[in-house]
Amino acid sequence: MTLEITLGPLLFNWPAEDIAAFYERMACEPLVRRIYLGEVVCGKREPLAAATLLAAAALLRDAGKEVVWSTLGLISTPRDRRLLQGIAQQDELQLLELNDLAAMSLLPPDRTFVAGPLLNIYNGSAAQILIDRGCERLCGNIELSLAAIGEIHRACPDLEIEIFGFGRLPLALSARCHHARQAGLSKDTCRFVCDRDPDGQTVQTLEGAAFLSINGIQTLSHGVHTVAASPEDLRTAGVRAVRLSPHACDMSAVIAAYGRYFETGDRGRLLAQLRACDLPGPLVDGYLEGAPGMRLAADL
C-alpha cells in the first residue's frame, strides 16, 4: 500500500483571500485526498477565518476531498469552550481531529475522531484508551521516534497512524502571545500582529543562529521538518499517512516531491526538490530517529 499524503491544518494567520486561493489550488491536487481544516493555534483568530474555512470545506468536498475539522490545541477561554462545544455537536463537519482532551467529554459517544499531534499520546496503552472512545486515526506527537510509532502500531494494529512529515514543527503552546509581546501588546489587545509573518517569525540566538519561530501563542521550529525514514521503513512501522503542514512556499511542488519520494524512495531527490521550494528554514529530520529535532537533514 502506498503512503497517503494529507494536508495538515493551516497554522498561520493568513489573509482570508490567501486562504481561499490556497484551498482552491489544493482542491486540484490529485495526490492529496484528506485535508485538515480549522483554527488550531488561537481562538481569537477563529472568527476571522471561520467563513473562509467553511467555504473552503464545501469547495474541497465538491472536489472529492475528505475534509477533517481540526480543533484548537489549547482551550483556554469561555469563547474557546463554546466554539469546541459547537463543533463537537455539528454532524455535518463529520470527522474531527482533537487537539485538546477537553473535547473527549463533549463528543457524542458514537462519534469517531482523529487524535491530533498536539495530544500527548506516547504509547499503545494511551492510544487504546482513545480507540475505545472512537479514535480511528492517530497523528503522532512530533516527539515520537519511528521506533516508538512502531511500538504503538504493534500494540494497536488497527489504528491508522499518520505522522507529521513536512513543515516547521509545532513545538509549544503558551497562554502568552509571543507576537503580541514582541509588539509591546498583550494577548487580549493583540491587533492580530501575527498576520505579518505567513510562516511565523524567525527567532535567533545572541550569536545570530536562527533556531525557532513564533506564531502567536505557538512556538515552532525554524527548521523545516522532513521524514528521515525510507517509505518502506515508514510502512513497516505502521505509518499509513504523512502530513504536510501548509507554508507560504509552493505547496504543490512540496506535494509533488513527497509523491515522487513515496514512489521511488529517492531521498536525495526529495531533499533537493524541497530545498528548491523557497522554504522558511533549513531541512531538519532528527525526531523520527530519536535525535534532537533540529538535526539537519543530510543526503544518505
Partner 1 sequence: MGSIELVCPAGSPAMLEAAIEAGADSVYCGLRDETNARNFPGLNFDAAELRRAVNFAHQKGAKVLVAINTFARAGGEERWRTSVMTAVAAGADAIIAADLAVLAHVRELSSTVRLHLSVQAAANTPEAIRFYVETFGVRRVVVPRVMSASEIADLIKESPAEIEAFVFGGLCVMTEGRCALSSYVSGQSPNLSGVCSPPEAVSFERTAEGMVSRLSGLALDKTPPGATAGYPTLCKGRFATDGDATYLFEEPTSLNAMGLLASLRQAGVKAVKIEGRQRGKAYVARVTRAFRKAIDALDRGESTAPFEHMLTDLAEGGRETEGAYNKRWR
Residues that bind partner 1 (CB under 8 A): 73-76, 78, 81, 84, 100-106, 118, 120-126, 129-130, 141-144, 147-149, 151-152, 154-155, 169, 171-178, 181-182, 186-188, 201-207, 209, 211-212, 214, 219, 221, 286-287, 290-294
Instruction: Check if the beta carbon of residue 231 is closer than 8 Å to that of residue 209.
Output: no
- For the bound state, the minimum distance from the C-beta of residue 218 to partner 1, rounded and expressed in Å, comes to 10
Give the dihedral sign, CA 13/14/15/19. Answer: negative
Which CB, 32 or 74, lies closer to partner 1? 74
Nearest-angstrom CA–CA distance, 199 and 22: 14
User: Which CB, 182 or 230, lies closer to partner 1?
Assistant: 182
Least CB distance to partner 1 at residue 255 (A): 25
Find the DSSP H helices in 28-145: 46-62, 78-89, 124-131
CA 127 to chain centre: 19
Cα separation of 57 and 111, whole Å? Answer: 19
Residue closer to partner 1, measured from CB, 91 or 207 = 207
| Shortest spacing between CB 50 and partner 1, in angstroms | 21
Residue 272 main-chain phi, psi, to 5 deg: -65, -45
- Of 50 and 106, the one with the shorter C-beta distance to partner 1 is 106
Q: Which is nearer to partner 1, 202 or 230 (CB)?
A: 202
d(CA 233, CA 224) in angstroms, rounded, equals 21
Question: Minimum Å distance from CB 279 to partner 1?
Answer: 17
